[in-house]
Amino acid sequence: DRVLKFALVGNQNSGKTTLFNRLTGANQHVGNFPGVTVDRKDGSIIGYPNTVITDLPGIYSMSPYSSEELVSRNFVLHDKPDAIINIVDATNIERNLYLTMQLLEMDRPMVVALNMMDELTGNGGSINIKKMTEMLGVPVVPISAAKNSGVNELVHQALSVAKNRTLPKKQDFCLEDENGGAVHRCLHGVGHFIEDHAKSRDLPVRFVSSKIIEGDKQIIRQLKLDQNELETIEHITIQMEKERNLDRSAAIADMRFAYIGRVSKECVKKPHESKERIR
Ligand code: GDP
Ligand code: MG
Ligand code: K
């Protein structure tokens, strides 16, 4: 059997280390990512010697502004883990899903480990897991890494998407893009334009499109776009900024947060306010 590679990705304080320790026990080794002083931990999942899980640095975004962010996205783009395990703090869901949205764009097999469920439910909150699975297009597994609940089911789902190479179901995150779908049109326009460049370099079209619109120099360099192509993309992007009345980065972020807002509204029952708990 081939070795299945997993990447553990999440925000700081989402419980990544706690989960990694649960998954690997003593089967860990510690190192460094090449060229940067970012810690790297690898281990095999207990009971599955033909697996390697890599604990990536805690990050909020897949932008290129820190070594941690670059290490994480290069790992997903170039090392191509068989599946991503995205750990999300269920008590801080809107903030954590910002990274999830970008991971989904990377179009790799993925599961969401919804952590800290003990804390959320302990405070009277709840999450509609079926609905969230539907809206994100990947399996969502409620867990408590600290209490060791849900972890077996998480392993089961992660092995399943990795073995079957199950990609996220295509969702249109631009649904909330009012003003006549300007961001939607821009993403599709740019996507169409760079599709061949991206595919020939085995890069995910949707992720690359949003990064180019955001002006990401590393991705632009990797795609080897010529001056004419860059000018066309700039033209499409300026058009979108005018229609949306936001700058490019704000418009892309706004689109992600609008979708997150909908996921949260439809799937999450927040813990009671303390006043209500007393009553
Ligand atoms: P990391 O920064 O993502 O590596 O997060 P850690 O694993 O260090 O966890 C951050 C804090 O959250 C620690 O105090 C953990 O004990 C706590 N924690 C982790 N998982 C859970 C959980 O499932 N439930 C609760 N209530 N706390 C947790
Ligand atoms: Mg940690
Ligand atoms: K906490």
Confidence of residue 36 (pLDDT cuts 50, 70, 90): confident
**What's the burial of 258, exposed, middle or buried (CB within 10 Å: 0-12/13-18/19+)?**
middle
Residue 224, pLDDT score:
93
Sign, CA dihedral 69-241-185-173, equals positive
**Interface pTM (ipTM) of the complex?**
0.97
CA distances (Å), origin 121, targets 83, 118, 137: 28, 5, 24
Average pLDDT over residues 112-116: 98
Residue 271, pLDDT score:
84
Q: Ligand 1 test: best mutation among 8, 13, 18, most atoms within 8 Å of CB?
A: 18
Cα gap 138→156, rounded to integer Å: 14
Decide: 58 in ligand 1 pocket, CB within 6 A: yes
Residue 88, pLDDT score:
98
Residue 173, pLDDT score:
74
Percent of the chain whose predicted confidence (pLDDT) is above 90: 86
Average pLDDT over residues 144-168: 98
Q: Any idea what DSSP says for residue 64?
A: S
Cα gap 141→30, rounded to integer Å: 27
Q: What is the dihedral of CA 76, 148, 51, 1, to 10 degrees?
A: -130
- In this structure, are residues 229 and 88 in contact, taking their beta carbons and an 8 Å threshold? no
Query: Which ligand sits nearest to residue 122's alpha carbon?
Result: 1
Atom of ligand 1 nearest to the CA of 122: 26
Cβ count near 166 (within 10 Å): 17
pTM for the model stands at 0.94
Decide: 92 in ligand 1 pocket, CB within 6 A: no
Decide: 57 in ligand 1 pocket, CB within 6 A: no
Model confidence at 276: pLDDT above 80: no
Average pLDDT over residues 163-178: 80
Decide: 16 in ligand 1 pocket, CB within 6 A: yes
Residue with tokens 């405070």: 123
Q: What is the mean pLDDT of the chain?
A: 93
- Residue-wise pLDDT for 63-101, tens only, equals 988 999 999 999 999 999 999 999 999 999 999 999 999
